[in-house]
Amino acid sequence: MNAIPWRDRVHGEDQLVEQLQLLVSESAKRRALALLDGVAELGTVADVARELDKSWNAIDKAIKKNGPQAPT
């Protein structure tokens, strides 16, 4: 039997989810900046996508969604 009441466990898990969502958001912003560095180095989004074996559309969306000009 669990000694911690279920409400406390739910609250603790909610806090953990919030922390993880913040970490994911910060990571996505750093990744977008790295992708932009790749574009600066290689020349185009398509070149970065080929280098990473991803679709250019996925790279473009990641930059637009999480890059420096992205809405907050």
Beta carbons within 10 angstroms of residue 54's beta carbon: 13
* pLDDT bucket at 72, cuts 50 / 70 / 90: low
Nearest to 63 by CA among 46, 22, 2: 46
pLDDT surpassing 80 at residue 5: yes
pLDDT at 36: 98
Give the tens place of pLDDT for each residue, 15-71. Answer: 999 999 999 999 999 999 999 999 999 999 999 999 999 999 999 999 999 999 876
pLDDT at 10: 98
